Amino acid sequence: MPQSPLLLVRSAELEAPDSAQAFRRRCPGLPGPGRSRTESGRRGEAGERKEGRAPQGRRARWRAERRAGNARGAGPEPPAGRVPAMALRLVSDFDLRKDVLPWLRAQRVASAAAGARGGGPGVLENNYESLRILNVERNGNVIYTYKDNKGNVFFGLYDCQTRQNEHLYTFEKDLHVVSCSVNSDRTLLAASLVHSTKEGRKNELQPGSKCLTLLVEIHPVNNVKVLKAVDSYIWVQFLYPHVESHPLPENHLLLVSEEKYIEKFHIQVIQEDGSRVVIKDSGHLPRERVAEDFVWAQWDMSEQRLYYIDLKKSRSILKCLQFSADEKFNLMFEAPLDITLSDSGFKLVNFGCDDLQDQENLSKHLTLCVFTNHTGSLCVCYSPKFDSWEKFTYSVFYFHKGHGKTFTAALGSVDSHVTKGLTFLNLDYYLAVYLPGHFFHLLNIQHPDLICHSLFLTGNSEVVDMLPHSPLQSLSGSLVLDWCSGKLYRALLNQSYLLQFLWNTQLDCEKMAVLHCVLSCGGDRRFLEAKIIQWISENISACHSFDLIQEFIIASSYWSMCPETSNMDKLLPYSSVLTWNTEIPGITLVTEEIALPFMKVHSFKGYWEKLNSNLEYVKYSKPHLHYNNSMVRREWHSLISEEKTGRRRSMVYVKNILDNATKVISNLEARNLEPRLTPLFQEADNHQRLLMGLMVSELKDHLLRHLQGVEKKKIEQMALDYVSKLLDLVCQIMETSWRKHSLHPCVPHFSGRASAAEFKVFHIMTRILEATKSLFLPLPPDLDNTEKNEKLKFSIIVRLPPLIGQKICRLWDHPMSSNIISRNHVKRLLQNYKKKPPSSVIHKSSFSVEFLPLNYFVEILTDIESSNQALYAFEGHDNVDAKFVEEAALKHTMMLLGL
C-alpha cells in the first residue's frame, strides 16, 4: 500500500530511559559469597579468618577487586561513569595468591607454634614458589600443589562453594606431579608423578625412569594403590556424576596414556567404622579400554564428554564419547577433519594443568580445541604451526552449519614477533580468538555465514593491549585459566565497552557486528534498547551498507525471542542483510563446505537433540525457513480488495484476525507504565488492524509447521510477543526522536516555517518509513480526508523544502497530493503568461460541468500547453495536464462548497 512519511507525523513525548543504574551487572556462574572461615587441616576444623576476606556479597567483592588493582587480574566492573577499554571481561573466580596462600601461611605459623610448644624444631620458612594449580573439577573445586623446603609434595583443595581450603595428602618424596584428580566425595585421590632431578626440574623420562600412577584413600588417609608404573606419562581424571546428592558406591577413573590409549577403572568403595571409606577389593579393579590409537584428546568436564582424534589412513577422524549419569558411555558421532596431525605429536586439552611443554614456544605448536553451547553448536578450532611473521592463519569448522572458514589475519610489520600461542575462548554465542599483542576476534558461531556478523580488532586496539599477555587455557563453558598467575576467570563480553565502541567505530562491518554482540549479552533489555536507539538517532545516515533502523528492529526482536525456545533461531530472521561483499580490513577469508558429523546414536536428549536438529536442518532445509512478511502482504491486499468490491470472507476469519490485533495493541500498552503521547497503533483503523492481526496469524502458522513438540497455546503467545516486539521498537524509535528534540502535542503547526528540530524529527520519520516499508510493518493509521486532516497534511508539505515536498507529492497517491501538484503546475504555466484576447467560442462539449470560471481557466491552460511544448520539460509532466488540473480544482471547489 502507498505509505507516506506524512502518516508518521504525530505529536509525541516520552519519558526518559532509566539511568545506568538499570544496566545491572550480569555475571552468571559466579559462586555464592560463602563464609569467611578457613579450615585448618581436615574439613570442619576451625581456622583463622582469611586475610582481607570479610563476609561479602558479589558487589562488595567487586569493590574489593577494584581496590586490588591489576594484582587481582583483568576485568572487574568499573565505577559508574568509567568504561574499561576491553571487549572482554575476565571476572576472577579463584586466585592462588589470595585464596590459598594466606591459609598456607596461617597453617605454617600454627605448625611452628605447635612444634615450639612440643620442643621440636618447628617449620622452616617457605616462599611457596612451587604453588600451582593442578586441576579444576566439574563442581568447580580447584586442586593445587606445592613443595616444602625438603621437596615433600602437598596436595590441597579449594572448595568454590564454601571458599575454604582443605589439605588432601602429602607425599614425603621429591616428586613432580604430572596429573591429579579427586572424586566427587573427596574420599579418593588419583595422581601421576615422576621423580625430580636435583635442580628441581622434572626428569624427562630418560631410560629407566618411571611414572607412577597412584590411587590414595584420603578419608581417612589409609591405603595407597599403584595403578600404573610405566615409562610414559599418564593423565588421570575422575568422572563426576550429574547427580551428587549422595555418595556413590562406585567411582570411575579415566587413565590417559602417552602411548595413545585411554582406560576406565571401576572403583568400588565401602564404608567402615562410621565415616571410614576404603576401596573394596583393591587387589582387583575392573577396567575397560575406552579409546586407542589416538593423537589428540580433549576433556569437557562440565558435560562429561571426551573428544579424541584417531588417524585412519592418514585421515583425521574426530570422535566423541558421552559419559552418562551411570558412567556408561556412548560413541555419539564421527566427523572427518581436513587437517594433518600425523607429525604433530601427542596433545591433550583440559586434562588438568601441566607444564610439560615449554610455554614460551607455544606459537610453534598447533592449537586444536572443540567448543559447544546450549543451542546445539559444534565448533572445532584449529591453528596450524606458526610459519610466518607477517600473518597468522586459523580455521573454524562450524559443523552445526555444514561449512568451515579459514581466517588469515595480518600481523603488521615483520618486527611483530609472535612468542605466545593462540587462545580460543568459548563465549556462548561467540568464540573469542586471541593472539596476545596482535589481535582479538569475536566470531559469531550462531550465525557465521556473513563475515560482517563477527568483530575483528587488530593489535593497535586498546582492547588487545589490555588483555593478559600470558597464555590462557579455556576450560569448559566460560571458564578461563591463566596458569602463569594461578587465576581462574569467567570470560564475559563487556556490554559497557561494546556500547561505547558502537559510538566510536567508523566501519559499517564493525557497527553491524557490535550491534549483535551487544544484543546477545542480554541484561536489562529495555535500557539497552534505549541506548542503541539513542545511538541510531545520532548516526541515522552514517551507514551505507545496511539500514540501521531495519537491522535494529530485526536483531533486537530476534535476540528477545530466540534464547527462550530451541529452533526459533532457524525460524525468525536474524539480520536484514542477506549478502555482504565488502572486505574486512586486515582479514582474508576462505569458506568451504565440510562433511557433516555422522551420528552414531539415534536416541537424543538435551544438547545432542539440538545438534541433531541443526544437522537435519543443514541437510534438508533449503531454502531457509526464516519467516518473512511476503504472505502477509498478499493476504492483506486480498482482504482490502475484497472489502472494496463488497465481497468478504467468513466473518469468523476476519474476527480472529481483528482479535489478534486487539491483543497486540493491548501488549503494546502493557509494555509502558504510562500511556504514550504518540498514539501509534491505537486508533480504530481497520486496515492497520487487519495488517497487525495477519502478521500474528501468519507467524503462528509458520511456527506451527516447523516447531515440533511445542504446545499450540505457547506458539500463539510467541507469535503475539514477536509481533508486539517489532511494533514496540518502531514506537520507541519514534518517541525517542520526538522527546530528544522537545516536540510537544502542539506540533506540527498549521502555519509558519518549521524549526530545525522539526526537520530533524521529520528526517527520522522518513527513515522509519523506509525501514518499515520493505518489512511491511503497519505504521500509524492512515488519516482520513476530513477538513482538519487535509489542513494538517497541507501545513506539513508547504513547510518542507520545495524539492522534498514535490517528490513526496508525486509519490503520494492522495487527493491533497493531487491538489498540490495541480497548483505547482498552474504556477509554472502562468509565470510568463501574457493575456490574450478572449476566445469568442467556448467548446462546452469538452467539459463535464457548466462552471464558466473553471471552463475559462482550463481553456487558458490548454492553449498554453498546446502552443509551447517546451513547458513539459520538468519532472512528472506526463502526469499533469489541463484535464488533471480541472479534475483537482473541481474536487477542491466542491469540497469547499460542501457539495
For the segment 538-548, the average pLDDT, to the nearest whole number, is 87
Distance in angstroms (rounded) separating the CA atoms of residues 166 and 669: 57
Q: How confident is the model at residue 864 (pLDDT cuts 50, 70, 90)?
A: low
Q: How confident is the model at residue 29 (pLDDT cuts 50, 70, 90)?
A: very low
Distance in angstroms (rounded) separating the CA atoms of residues 301 and 67: 33
For the segment 672-697, the average pLDDT, to the nearest whole number, is 76
What does residue 498 show for φ and ψ, rounded to 5 degrees?
-60, -35
**Residue where a domain terminates, one of 245, 261, 292:** 292
Pair 742, 815 in one domain? no
Pair 158, 215 in one domain? yes
Considering the domain boundaries, does residue 772 fall inside one?
yes
Pair 888, 794 in one domain? yes
pLDDT of residue 478: 85
Lowest mean pLDDT among 212-221, 247-256, 531-540, 830-839: 830-839
Distance in angstroms (rounded) separating the CA atoms of residues 252 and 249: 10
Closest by CA position to 817, among listed 892, 898, 896? 892
Distance in angstroms (rounded) separating the CA atoms of residues 888 and 854: 11
Helices 508-520, 495-504: crossing angle, 10 deg rounding: 160
How crowded is the C-beta side of 104, counted as CA atoms within 13 Å?
24
Pair 168, 237 in one domain? yes
CB atoms within 10 A of CB 776: 17
Q: How confident is the model at residue 404 (pLDDT cuts 50, 70, 90)?
A: very high
- Strands of 391-398's sheet in order across: 367-372, 378-383, 391-398, 403-410, 587-593
Identify the residue with better confidence: 639 or 36: 639
CB 343 within 8 A of CB 360: no
Pair 713, 810 in one domain? no
* pLDDT higher than 60, residue 242: yes
CB 522 within 8 A of CB 744: no
The SS3 assignment for 807 reads helix
pLDDT of residue 595: 94
Identify the residue with better confidence: 9 or 105: 105
Considering the domain boundaries, does residue 188 fall inside one?
yes
Pair 762, 673 in one domain? yes
The string of pLDDT tens digits covering residues 828-838 is 666 666 666 55
H-helix or E-strand containing 490? strand 487-493
The SS3 assignment for 280 reads coil
End-to-end CA distance of the chain: 29
CB atoms within 10 A of CB 228: 17
CB 57 within 8 A of CB 33: yes
* pLDDT higher than 50, residue 205: no
Closest by CA position to 95, among listed 121, 139, 132, 69? 132
pLDDT of residue 745: 53
Residue 781: partners with Cβ closer than 8 Å, 6 or more residues away: 7, 681, 683, 685, 687, 688
* pLDDT higher than 90, residue 386: no
The string of pLDDT tens digits covering residues 448-494 is 999 999 999 887 666 666 667 677 888 887 889 988 888 999 999 99
Closest by CA position to 187, among listed 140, 222, 239, 139? 222
Lowest mean pLDDT among 40-49, 300-309, 721-730: 40-49
Question: Model-level pTM?
Answer: 0.77
Pair 802, 755 in one domain? no
Residue 740, domain extent: 1-28+562-575+627-782
Assigned C-alpha cell, 260? 595413545
Distance in angstroms (rounded) separating the CA atoms of residues 679 and 688: 13
**Residue where a domain terminates, one of 292, 322, 341:** 292
What is the 3-state secondary structure of 349-367? ECCCCCCCCCHHHHHHCCE
The string of pLDDT tens digits covering residues 831-861 is 666 666 555 444 544 444 455 556 666 676 6
Q: What is the largest CA-CA distance in the chain?
A: 141
pLDDT of residue 436: 78
Sign of CA dihedral 475, 481, 486, 488: negative
Residue reference for cell 505457547: 714
pLDDT of residue 398: 97
State the DSSP string of 753-802. Answer: PPPHHHHHHHHHHHHHHHHHHHHT---SPPP---HHHHHHHHHHHHTS-H
The string of pLDDT tens digits covering residues 558-607 is 999 887 677 788 899 999 998 998 889 889 999 999 999 999 988 888 89
CB 255 within 8 A of CB 228: yes
pLDDT of residue 95: 94
Considering the domain boundaries, does residue 846 fall inside one?
yes
CB 497 within 8 A of CB 510: no
Pair 194, 160 in one domain? yes
Pair 240, 260 in one domain? yes
Q: How many residues does the chain have?
A: 899
Number of structural domains in the chain: 3
pLDDT of residue 633: 84
Identify the residue with better confidence: 11 or 348: 348
Considering the domain boundaries, does residue 373 fall inside one?
no
3-state helix, strand, coil in the chain (%, to 5): 35, 25, 40
Between the CA of residue 356 and those of 202, 203, 204, 207, 352, what are the distances in Å? 9, 11, 9, 18, 11
Pair 813, 740 in one domain? no
DSSP state, residue 170:
E
For the segment 635-660, the average pLDDT, to the nearest whole number, is 84
Distance in angstroms (rounded) separating the CA atoms of residues 98 and 50: 9
Identify the residue with better confidence: 672 or 555: 555
Pair 809, 709 in one domain? no
**Residue where a domain terminates, one of 782, 804, 819:** 782
Lowest mean pLDDT among 25-29, 269-273, 562-566, 644-648: 25-29
Distance in angstroms (rounded) separating the CA atoms of residues 104 and 108: 6
Closest by CA position to 213, among listed 197, 198, 228? 228
Considering the domain boundaries, does residue 158 fall inside one?
yes
Helices 495-504, 525-538: crossing angle, 10 deg rounding: 10
The SS3 assignment for 388 reads coil
Considering the domain boundaries, does residue 395 fall inside one?
no
pLDDT of residue 357: 46
Assigned C-alpha cell, 289? 579400554
Considering the domain boundaries, does residue 758 fall inside one?
yes
Residue 487: partners with Cβ closer than 8 Å, 6 or more residues away: 73, 92, 94, 95, 96, 481
The string of pLDDT tens digits covering residues 118-163 is 544 444 456 788 899 999 999 999 999 998 888 889 999 999 999 9
Pair 713, 566 in one domain? yes
pLDDT of residue 894: 61
The SS3 assignment for 454 reads coil
Closest by CA position to 378, among listed 401, 353, 362? 401
Considering the domain boundaries, does residue 430 fall inside one?
no
pLDDT of residue 411: 81
The SS3 assignment for 879 reads helix
pLDDT of residue 42: 35
For the chain, what is the mean pLDDT?
A: 76
Distance in angstroms (rounded) separating the CA atoms of residues 390 and 417: 9
Residue 97 burial by Cβ neighbours in a 10 Å radius (0-12, 13-18, 19+): middle
